[in-house]
Amino acid sequence: MQLQWDWSIAMEVLPHLIRGLWVTLLATAGGMTLALALGLMVTMARRARFRLVSWPVGAAIEFVRCTPLLIQLFFVYYLIPDFGWNTPLVTGILVLGIHYSAYTSEVYRAGIDNVPRGQWEAARALNLNRQQTWTRVIIPQAVPPIVPAMGNYLVAMFKDTPLLYAITVQEMLTRATNFSSRVFSTVEAYTLAGVLFLILSLLAAGLIHRAERQLVVRET
C-alpha cells in the first residue's frame, strides 16, 4: 500500500481546479442571493393572515426541504425547455436558491419572532404604519442576530455545489473528474479539490465565528 502522488500532475491540475472554483463561487454567490431574497418572501407569505396564501407556501417549502437537492436539480434541468438564457449554471443557481430558501425562511422567521413584543406595541403606539414598523423597527433588530446562521447556510450551500456536476456545470468537481479521466489518475485531482473545499470552508467558518463574537460584543 503506497500513495501514488505525482507532483507534476498535481501542478497541472491546479489551474483547472482554480477555474472550476470560480464557477463554484459564482454558483454559491448567485444561489445565496436568490435564497436570501426568496426566503424573506416565503417568511412573509407564511405570516400572511390569509390562509390561502400561508398554507400552500408553507407546505411547498416543507416539501422542498425534505427532498434531495439532486433530484430537484434533475427535475428542473430536464423539465424546463431551453430558453437560451438558461445555461446549466443558471438552472443550478435557480435550484440552489429555491432549495436553500426553505432554510433561510426559517432563519428569518426565528429572527422576527425574537424581536420582543414590546417593539411591535411601541411601533403602534408611535403611530408608525406597517411599512415603517417593518423597515425602521423590526428588520433592523431581526437581521443582525441571524447573520451567523445565514453564514452557516452559505457554507452549506458552498459544499452542495459539487452536485451541479450532475447537470454538467463546469465547477470544481466536474473539472477534477474530467481531468482525472484524461490522465488516468484520480489521486491528485480529487485530493486537491477536497483540500481547496476544506480551506475555503474553514476560512468561512472562521469569519462566521468572528461575526458571532462581534454580535455578542455589540449586545453587551
Partner 1 sequence: MPQPLDLMPTLLQGLWVTVQVYLGAAVFVLVCGVVVGSMRSSRHRWLRWPAKGYILGFRGVPALVLLFWFYYVMPAIGLRLPALAAGILALGLNFGAYAAELVRGAIAAVPSGQTEAAIALNMTPMQRMIRVIGPQATLRALPPMGSLNIELMKNTALVFFIGLHDLTFQGRILQNDTQRTVQIFTLALAMYFVLALCIMAASRGLERVMGRGMQGGAR
Which residues would be at the binding site for partner 1 (CB under 8 A)? 1-4, 63, 66-72, 74-75, 78-79, 159-163, 165-166, 173, 176-177, 180, 185-187, 190-191, 193-194, 197-198, 201-202, 205
Closer CB to partner 1, 137 or 176, in the complex = 176
Measured from the CB of residue 40, what is the shortest distance to partner 1 in angstroms? 22
- Give the 3-state secondary structure percentages of the chain, helix then strand then coil, rounded to 5: 85, 0, 15
Q: Which set of grid coordinates corresponds to residue 160?
A: 452542495
Measured from the CB of residue 151, what is the shortest distance to partner 1 in angstroms? 14
From CA 133, how far away is CA 129, in angstroms rounded?
6
Closer CB to partner 1, 105 or 137, in the complex = 105
Measured from the CB of residue 175, what is the shortest distance to partner 1 in angstroms? 13
DSSP secondary structure code for residue 165 in this structure: G
Residue showing cell 445565514: 150
Measured from the CB of residue 185, what is the shortest distance to partner 1 in angstroms? 7
Closer CB to partner 1, 168 or 185, in the complex = 185
Residue 57 C-beta-side C-alpha neighbours within 13 Å:
21
Q: What is the CA radius of gyration of the chain?
A: 21
Closer CB to partner 1, 137 or 160, in the complex = 160
Q: What is the largest CA-CA distance in the chain?
A: 75
Measured from the CB of residue 120, what is the shortest distance to partner 1 in angstroms? 27
Closer CB to partner 1, 9 or 123, in the complex = 9
Measured from the CB of residue 171, what is the shortest distance to partner 1 in angstroms? 11
From CA 127, how far away is CA 133, in angstroms rounded?
9
Closer CB to partner 1, 22 or 63, in the complex = 63
Contact 179, 147 (CB under 8 A): no
Contact 35, 61 (CB under 8 A): no
Contact 169, 156 (CB under 8 A): no
From CA 123, how far away is CA 90, in angstroms rounded?
41
Q: Which set of grid coordinates corresponds to residue 186?
A: 484520480
